[in-house]
Structure 1
Amino acid sequence: MAVPKKKTSKSKRDKRRATWRGKAAIEAQKALSLGKSILSGRSKFVYPNPEEEEEDTES
């Protein structure tokens, strides 16, 4: 017969959520940093330029 699981404490729940939100905050900061770097032109990140791709396909 099925038995209900024990209730998770608020502290465990909050700790798990804090970890998840912390990871999301770090990824958001990385994305913002990359975006700023690309806009400033100092980026070493290589990304496709849609305008150049259109010119290549027309030739």
Structure 2
Amino acid sequence: MAVPKKKTSKSKRDQRRATWRRKAALEAQKALSLGKSILTGRSTFVYPSAEEEEEEES
């Protein structure tokens, strides 16, 4: 069974976790911003509305 040769230092572990958390926080911020812009109607994001979906299905 494969075993790591040396223990990873706490600082290296914390550094990796901080990077992961920073990326996750950035994506969450983008999602929240997109959601707010869609609700206010200022969005440049193109998404199908419920009316358009019903017309395509018929």
TM above 0.5 = yes
TM-score (norm 1): 0.83
Bigger Cα Rg:
1
Gapped regions of structure 1 (runs ≥ 5): none
Equivalent in the alignment of 1:46: 46
Aligned-residue sequence identity (percent) comes to 82
Corresponding pairs, count:
57
Alignment-derived partner of residue 30 in structure 1: 30
Q: Extract unaligned runs of 5+ from structure 2.
A: none
Q: Which structure has the higher relative contact order (CA within 8 Å, separation 6+)?
A: 2
Give me the CA root mean square deviation: 1.7
TM-score between both structures, scaled by the size of structure 2: 0.85
